A = this chain, B = another copy of it.
Amino acid sequence: MVKAMVFSHEIAPGQRVNIDALSLRLGVSQTPIREALARLESDGLIAKEPLKGYSATNLLTLKEFGDLFRFRLLIEPWAAEQAAKHIDAQGKAALKEEMQIAKEALKFDDNSKIEALTEHDARFHSLISHLSGNESLHQAFERMHCHLHLFRLFLANQRNLVSGEERPAFVSELFEQYYQSGSGQLAIKQHNEIYKAITGGDSKAAKQAMHDHIESSLKRFSPAAEAINDL
């Protein structure tokens, strides 16, 4: 559990992870480290090679990236549809609160804004998959989405590197495309459409809005996925 944070980019993708070093660094013994690593292995976030050790999994390949979004298109519009059908007062409150957080986040400065919006997006979609009422779908979503989240955190992390460091040129271009062109506001706007449809009980609109949002999101991220794929 604590290791999920460690993994969120203190260890570069593909890098081997040293158990002894981790245990010293975190001040705990090797056993709990191995447990956490085993859990992360089941989540597909690290890979284990017997007698060779653990290593962080690479970022999504271009194919995996496409697969993931195709899968989202399969389950999330349905989840939004179901959420609209079964929504109750408690669900409405939760959605409203999340939208409020997003609105506040738009006022932050660049770095904080990106981080906040990324976290908001993860929570928003997770919440809807939960509100679908289907536990199987929710679990599947959570396990799948962490890989996408990792990808986005990687992008944001790249940006935080000082310009002086050897930052690939494509990264700089990507930032303009994403973060400067008001895509944050666009995403929030689309979230708002979904939010209104769900709380309004309009299941058909909710399904459509979610579909459009994911397709839009795919278009925004595709150039980055291609660029990173070329490493």
**A68: nearest chain-B partner, CB-CB:** B136
Q: In this assembly, does A196 line the interface, its C-beta being within 8 Å of a C-beta of chain B?
A: no
**A65: nearest chain-B partner, CB-CB:** B136
Instruction: Collect the chain B residues with CB atoms within 8 Å of residue A70's CB.
Output: 134, 136-137
Q: In this assembly, does A26 line the interface, its C-beta being within 8 Å of a C-beta of chain B?
A: no
Count of A residues near B, CB < 8 Å? 29
Instruction: Collect the chain B residues with CB atoms within 8 Å of residue A39's CB.
Output: 38-39, 41-42
Assembled-state Cα–Cα distance A46/B44 (Å): 18
Q: In this assembly, does A97 line the interface, its C-beta being within 8 Å of a C-beta of chain B?
A: no
CB distance from A203 to the nearest CB of B (A): 15
Which residue numbers of A lie inside 8 Å of B, CB to CB?
Answer: 31, 34-36, 38-44, 63-64, 67-68, 70-71, 74-75, 78, 133-137, 139-140, 143-144
